[in-house]
Amino acid sequence: MEESRVLEIFAQTKAIIKNSHVIYTSGLHGSEYVNKDAVYRDTEATDELCQAIAEHFRDFNVEVVVVPVEGGINLSQGVARHLTRMTGRKVISIFADKEGDALIIKRGYDKDVPGKRILVLDDVFTTGGSVKKLIELIRNLNGQVVGVGGLCNRGGVTAADLEKDVPEPFVLVSVQMATYPPVECPLCKAGLPFNMEVGKAKERLAQKDK
C-alpha cells in the first residue's frame, strides 16, 4: 500500500489532529496526534490497512499476532484474519493487559506464546516503549518475535530503540511530529489547555488530583 493511500485514509477518517495540546502515553507533550480510534470506527478502512500489514508479513510464518493493550484488538484481529486467509494456516490474535507501568498477558493467552512465532503490532509508534515491554514479556514466556509492525511511526522509532535482535519495525506510514518534555513544552508555557478527548491528559490530571 502506498503511503499516500494511508494518509488519504487518515484524512478521510479525521485521524490526524493538529493545533492541539496533547499528552502522549510516554508523558511527552505535543500539538499533533494520530487518533487510531477514529480509523477503527470505519471498518472498511481498518480492514484495508490490516490487509496491507498482513501482506508484508505473509511469508514470516506467523502463528500469533499480539498487541500491547486491548485498544489494539481491531488491528491484531484484522491482521491475524488476513494472515489466516493468505497462508491457509490458522493465525490467532491476543493482547496484553496493562498493570501499573507493566504489561502482562493473562486471560489464558499466555499459553499461546511459548514456542510460537509472534508478530508484535502497535497502532502508533511514539517512543516504542510499549512495544519494547511487550517484546521483553514475550521472550520471558519463550515466544519468538519474528516481526514488529504497525500503522504509523510518528516518533522515528527504529529497531535500536527496542529490544536486542528484533527486526526493523514495518509501518504503513511515517510522519514527523514534534514532542516536548513537560518542563520544556511551549504549549504549556503559552497556557494552552489540554485536549481531554485524546491522549492521556485526562488520566494524568486525574492522578495529580488524588
pLDDT digits (tens, 9 = 90+) for 178-196: 889 999 999 999 999 999 9
Alpha-helical regions (H) of 96-168 = 129-140
Residue-wise burial string across 39-77, b where 16 or more C-beta atoms lie within 10 A, e elsewhere: bbebeebbeebbbbbbebbeebebbbbbbbbeebebbbb
User: Whose grid coordinates read 500489514?
Assistant: 53
SS3 202: helix
pLDDT score at 209: 57
Domain ranges of the chain: 3-209
Q: SS in 3 state form for 59-77?
A: CCCCCEEEECCHHHHHHHH
Cα–Cα dist 77/81, whole Å: 6
> Count of H helices and E strands in the chain?
7, 11
Q: What is the CB-side half-sphere exposure of residue 84 using CA atoms within 13 A?
A: 12
| pLDDT tens, residue order, the chain (210 aa) | 899 999 999 999 999 999 999 998 888 999 999 999 999 999 999 999 999 999 999 999 999 999 998 888 999 999 999 999 999 999 999 999 988 888 999 999 999 999 999 999 999 998 888 999 999 999 999 999 999 999 999 888 999 999 888 989 999 999 888 889 999 999 999 999 999 988 888 877 776 655
Cα–Cα dist 107/67, whole Å: 14
41, 69, 165 from 144: Cα distances, Å: 32, 19, 11
Cβ atoms within 10 A of the Cβ of 209, count?
5
Cα–Cα dist 134/57, whole Å: 19
Class of domain 3-209: alpha beta
How does DSSP classify residue 39? H
Amino acid at 15: A
Cα–Cα dist 77/70, whole Å: 11
